[in-house]
Structure 1
Amino acid sequence: MAPRPQLLVGPYLRREAVSSTRIEGTQASLAEVFDAEAGDLPLGPDVEEVINYVRAMETGLHRLSTLPLSTRLIREMHAVILAGVRGRERQPGELRTTQNSIGPPGASIATATFVPPPPDEVGALLDDLERFVHEPPGTPPLVQAALLHYQFETIHPFLDGNGRLGRLLVVFFLVVRGRLPEPLLYLSPYFEARRAQYYDALQGVRERGDFDRWLAIFLDAVCAQAADAVTRAERLTDLRERYRAGVQASTRGAANQVVDLAFEQPVLTARAVERRLTITRPAALKALRHLAELGILVEVPTGPRGQLRWRAESVLAVLTAED
């Protein structure tokens, strides 16, 4: 694993956010998200949904220091996921008070693939789910995480955003149980590549009680994505070591700090570097230009006013490579 896994938390979370929102129909790419977060570019609606997912995860991880994994925390994250994006009119942060259904576009409750429990049962079902999350260890944590995701998806407690939030809860549960020292395991890329299989397995539990198939798919996802996370971390670690060796040989100011920053945020501006490293604008520009001379960054004149950006193309290539 990487010597500084914290450098990878942000990029890995954004990979998860892109895949999880794609499962729900968005088309944003990881590169577009990094470009948007660099600032000074208009945000498309799909990118906004991804960024909301990132904010929900970051908010939730921060809140876990003072709040248990609970219905209250779930509602707070849901409000962030739907803030100002598609579905914002569907009561962000509020448990549903009307009947919903799961099915193809245009399906009625009568023709839906699945009809979740009635709204007057949602509160009690979430209370049961909360007790399940905090019950004494007995069931293996990964099996418990799989059951948690299935149960949340089946309760479908909100009018929109249930899938995205349900996938986030897997990571939160494993963090709470101490199984993830850093939140670097994300399953959505696996489920995105097998979307029909993922949905069919969840439905199989509802219709036939086929837990074996759902657990098999979930545990396959864990194994595959754990291996993927390690492989990417190793490639990024090797890349970072090469970059830092090249910078140290040239001994130039803040450049080493900017190298690390480029692994957290592969699209940079002088303003972002100035703010993150608390250095002057000239020092930030000097470091960015030096890394461009070394081939670590590529200068890209984008932005509405021609504001320069620097992209760590090799870092982006590792992060966006197919699983």
Structure 2
Amino acid sequence: MYIWEDAGWPNQTWQDVIIATPLAAVRHDQGRLIGRMEALGLKLREEAVLQTLTQDVVKTSAIEGEQLDATQVRSSLARRLGIDIGALPPTDRNVEGIVEVMLDATRNYQEPLTAERLFAWHAALFATGRSGMTRIRVGEWRVDSTGPMQVVSGLFGRERVHFAAPPAKQVAAEMDAFLTWFNSPPTTDPVIKAAQAHLWFVTIHPFEDGNGRIARAIADLALARSENSPQRFYSMSAQIRAERTAYYDQLERTQKGATDVTAWILWFLECLGRAIHGADGVLAAVIAKARFWERAGALALSERQIKVLNRLLDGFEGKMTSSKWAVIAKCSQDTANRDIAALLDLGLLRKGDGGGRSTHYEIIA
């Protein structure tokens, strides 16, 4: 029996005595983080928000197996938020779509969540009307024309069904109940409501695809309401991505149980706590970047050098070699070598360990 087949559904219950302490800890950490971020100047706060949202967008897509270009995501976010990060590269439509969804969820967190709003989110995610090579119904509830909605893994013929969603004929009524509850004043802590909303939506699974990304956007909206702030300083999606095996395991256990969701809420709170603590890394990177440019800003650097240095400061994945430098800066190998040599002389770069074909360069922050 799945949770939606339980006689008590959709009324979720939990044991307050078990979640009281982790809930108090998360609420304390939320307040502490917001206080630290508010103490930063506007410029640094904008940079922290930009880094967090970039991480959120990239990781929520990665959970579903879609790899987005972080530079394009950052560019799209900066343009929409009015943050100056220099020349903005063009962005793909799939990047624009998830950025639109995440920004609408967090910037307009006080607006009601409606079916039309969810349809717009879904249409933004699947602007071509396809999921990969498959045509899907976009901006509409699913109809199950090809069979029941199931979450399946494994090879063809040996599939394992992790979850079966309610039949399509029930979706409209299920979503009406969900949206009425979501838009009503909370009768419990708003963070608990975020955990409930994530589970409830992904259990209904109302769309043919994109349910996970939209469920996480709904949770982000609910968390923004819990803080009464559109500014995101931590990424729940990045933390779920890091813990995706535990996430799917806990989700499956909960969806195959009764309506006591204590274990799910406890996992959600603990994951959220780790996400908030992970914001320390964002804060440290933002401050390090600001200090770097305080030191380097007065130096005569080319636009190419500034562009690549910012890529390194923003968390470049992998090792920066001269050939990668040439690609990013869109210059010749000889020009890249001269750019790097000048930065080595200025004490802004150093050679990493290794030599020969393994020669790479690290920023001195």
TM-score, with structure 1 as normaliser: 0.69
Matched, 1:77 2:127: no
Task: Check the 8 A contact 1:21/1:49 in 2, yes or no.
Answer: no
Deviation at 1:61, TM superposition (A): 4.4
Shift of the alpha carbon at 1:129?
1.3
Superposed CA RMSD: 4.1
Larger deviation, residues 19-28 vs 118-127: 19-28
Task: Go from structure 1 to structure 2 and tell me whether the alpha carbon gap of 1:107 and 1:228 turns closer, same or farther (over 3 Å shift).
Answer: same
Q: 1:153 to 1:106 in 2, by over 3 A?
A: farther
1:212-227 aligned at under 5 Å gives the runs: 212-227=262-277
Aligned residues: 270
Q: Quote how far apart the aligned CAs of 1:146 are.
A: 0.5
Aligned partners of 1:219 and 1:302: how far apart in 2? Answer: 42
- Native 8 Å contact 1:40 1:303 kept in 2: no
Query: What SS class does the counterpart of residue 114 from structure 1 fall into?
Result: strand
| CA deviation profile, 1:93-125 (whole Å, cap 9, x unmatched) | 2111223111115679x9622111111211121
Q: Closer, same or farther in 2 for the Cα pair 1:176/1:35, shift >3 Å?
A: closer
More displaced stretch, 4-13 vs 30-39: 30-39
Distance in 2 (alpha carbons) for counterparts of 1:73 and 1:194 = 29
- Cα distance in 2 for partners of 1:222, 1:64 equals 18
Task: Pick from 279, 302, 306 the counterpart of residue 327 of structure 2.
Answer: 302
Q: Pick closer, same or farther for the CA change 1:32–1:136 going to 2, 3 Å.
A: closer
* CA distance in structure 1 between the partners assigned to 2:76 and 2:236 by the alignment: 24
Looking at structure 2, the residues matched to 238 and 74 of structure 1 have their Cα atoms a distance apart, in angstroms, of 38
Alpha-carbon distance in structure 1 between the residues aligned to 2:325 and 2:213: 33
- Amino acid across the alignment from 1:207: K
CA 1:111–1:226: 2 relative to 1, 3 Å: closer
Q: Does the CA-based 8 Å contact 2:76-2:99 persist in structure 1?
A: no
Between the aligned partners of 1:19 and 1:6, the Cα distance in structure 2 is 20
Matched, 1:92 2:141: no
* Superposed CA offset, 1:129-174 (max 9, x none): 1122222232111111001000001000000010111111111122
Larger Rg computed on CA atoms: 2
> Identity over aligned residues, as a percent?
23
The runs of 5 or more residues in structure 1 that have no matched partner are: 268-298, 315-323
1:19–1:188 Cα contact (<8 Å) kept: yes
SS at match of 1:97: coil
Out of 187, 199, 209, the residue aligned to residue 248 of structure 2 is: 199
**5+ long unaligned stretches in structure 2:** 1-36, 78-87, 316-323, 340-347, 350-365
Alignment correspondent of 1:9: 49
- SS at 1:113's partner residue? strand
**Alpha-carbon spacing, 1:36–1:174, altered in 2? closer, same or farther (3 Å):** closer
- Can you list the C-alpha shifts for 1:169-217, whole angstroms capped at 9, x where unaligned? 1111222344444123321222222222111211222212352221121
| Secondary structure, counterpart of 2:140 in structure 1 | coil
For 1:36-84, what per-residue CA distance to the aligned partner results, in whole angstroms no more than 9, with x for missing partners? 994369x6xxxx645532232124445557x422222121111111223
